[in-house]
Structure 1
Amino acid sequence: MSSFRSEPILWIHVAGLATLPIFLFLCLLFLSIGEPLLPVWMEIFLVAAIGVFPLLWMQFRRPFYIFAILGVALKPENLTEQQRKILCLINTNLNRALALLAAILLVGVLWQIYQVAPRVANIVGFLPQWRSLSLLLAALAFLASNLFLQIPVSVARVLVTNDTEFAAIKPLPLEKIQQDFTIVGVRVNNILPQLFQSLIGRNTSSQPPLEQNSDEL
């Protein structure tokens, strides 16, 4: 049986962390548009509220179902025993604490971004200087930033789990998956296998037959 760390979806979600700087940069650009309409603390609160609270509430109440990507989700009934064990590690108090810490960290980053925003206003000077719209776009960019931090943090907690601890976990019952997790996307029978099979087949076909080569020699 392969290690739970070889589960492809885990590494795909970890790789999503690479998009975090992109969304934070977009948030910076949107905050640099227009003159402030509200006091500093209120604008930061509005952006943080939209960007943090929905995801934090989700992670505390019904965590994101990680066997989903790009608008499709693996049907719960198709999960393997190992995958249902992974879900047990996602829905824990430790992960909730990590979600809270990640949110606090990003709010601190948001404060720094807000301070820097006026210095890059010249980059977006050609855009309409509509402050209300720019605040909304900044909040949505900040929401995406939180999403692409919260999920990798949850997955990282799984990856550092001790093998002995993982082996002792009982798989999450099928009926609990619907109750305990937020499943986003169209539900399908599989997400990744066809892609990996095609890659494996391509690599195999590209290798010269060993017997033929030995005969030619």
Structure 2
Amino acid sequence: MEKLIVIGAGGYAKSVLDSVDIYNYEIVGFIDEFTSEKVHIGYPIVAHSLDELSNNNHYVYFIAIGNNEKRKKWYDKLKERKLRIINVVDRTAIVSPKAVLGTGCFIGKFAVVNSKAIVGDDCIINTRALVEHGCTVADHANLSTNSVINGDVCIGEGSFIGSCSVTIGQLKIGNWSTVGAGAVVIHDVGNHVTVAGVPAKVIKEGAMLG
């Protein structure tokens, strides 16, 4: 059984730990840069940085940080040190055998990743999110709860797709952009913008820098 350290002791970690395959991974505890607590949801804070952790190559890792930019920084740091990052796929999720997942991905409760979908590295497909057939979700993206991405949509790197939003088929969401909660996206979305509303319109530019 491999020993797992989770990076980030916040709210998102609660969902992650609830979905970890406890038959293959022993949860050792957390690394968290900011907390002063010693325990989070029953597991110890073992370090505040990788440098504090002795023998860090003896563990596997998962990054439980919801913010895309901060998660990417940790992902790059772990990769630079050649440390292994795992996927966490909830037992209730449906991932097509014809879909492709990168590394460091979270697939939450009752989420669906359908046939021929490609999900990049370090992505969050949260509770009940739907990634339909032929979609591409680039690295470090976050599809929030109940979001719907219809067939053949391309989600750009680092983008955040809000809860209960719907993106109709064959569209492109640019890099480091945000789709607001409940939005209905019927046109392509550019890079570094925020869209919201029904139908979705640009309400802010330069939203995420990535």
Q: Would you say same fold, with TM above 0.5?
A: no
Q: Which bracket does the TM-score occupy, shorter chain normalised?
A: under 0.3
> Which protein is richer in strand relative to its size?
2
Q: TM-score, normalised by structure 1?
A: 0.20
Structure possessing the higher relative contact order (Cα contacts under 8 Å, 6 or more residues apart): 1
Name which one, 1 or 2, has greater alpha-carbon Rg: 1
Q: TM-score, normalised by structure 2?
A: 0.20
